[in-house]
Amino acid sequence: SQQGEEDPQALSIQEGENATMNCSYKTSINNLQWYRQNSGRGLVHLILIRSNEREKHSGRLRVTLDTSKKSSSLLITASRAADTASYFCATTNSGNTPLVFGKGTRLSVIA
Amino acid sequence: EAQVTQNPRYLITVTGKKLTVTCSQNMNHEYMSWYRQDPGLGLRQIYYSMNVEVTDKGDVPEGYKVSRKEKRNFPLILESPSPNQTSLYFCASSSFQGGYEQYFGPGTRLTVT
């Protein structure tokens, strides 16, 4: 099954810096989503970008999608200690097919 | 409050003792799914359901069963648990109207000894 792969696996930055995470996938998609998971807890949906969109913003989050390269990036601006979490991308094909998650990027924001 | 609930949150059991993890959502979502999360492996889908009485295997269905008799409930059944099913389990639901944004439960940490 298709799967998003996040890069890097782990990222450590200082508070106030920007954090960029990337996601690559293998086959055509209907949409791509980003989720956040605080340690041991349920995933929380952050943002969804459709295959015909190139960029989307939500607060301090900016997501881009390049379908020609089969990749997406998540930018968190002015990071805070509370942004420390794992971030996952997830993709779904056209039609009602299940969401498939990558293995995540573990972000640490140091105060 | 819109939510997905799971019970129990923590469970320690022994090999071979049948158990059920319940999942319930109050958002009238058509789609429900079970995942397991293991270190280094990310989230892997176990089973999913498009609607009542419609279930399908995910990537790692072996050793698990599910049922969807009501729209709101999607229990996960381990008929004969084994130590390799020790994991963190998540239930999730979504509406097809919403572009498949998934709502996750808080997780069930299962240990099989």
Q: Residue B97's pLDDT is what?
A: 60
| Interval B16-62: pLDDT, tens | 999 999 999 999 999 999 999 998 888 999 999 989 999 999 989 99
Place of tokens 């997780």: B107
Q: Residue A94's pLDDT is what?
A: 63
Position B99 confidence tier, pLDDT thresholds 50, 70, 90: low
| Interval A96-106: pLDDT, tens | 566 788 889 99
Place of tokens 């359901």: B49
Residue A43 DSSP SS3: strand
* B92: pLDDT strictly greater than 60: yes
Q: Residue A92's pLDDT is what?
A: 83
Place of tokens 């969109």: A53
Token representation of residue A104: 């995540």
Closest chain B residue to the Cα of A96, Cα to Cα: B96
Q: Residue B98's pLDDT is what?
A: 54
CB A13, CB A77: distance < 8 Å:
no
| Interval A9-40: pLDDT, tens | 999 999 999 999 999 998 888 889 999 999 88
Give the closest of A1, A40, A43 to B59, CB-based. Answer: A1
Place of tokens 């004969």: B80
Q: How many CB atoms lie within 10 A of CB A49?
A: 20
Q: Residue B111's pLDDT is what?
A: 98
Rounded to whole angstroms, the Cα distance separating B90 from A42 reads 7
Give the closest of B43, B45, B96 to A96, CB-based. Answer: B96
CB B25, CB B72: distance < 8 Å:
yes
CA atoms within 13 A on the CB side of B106: 7
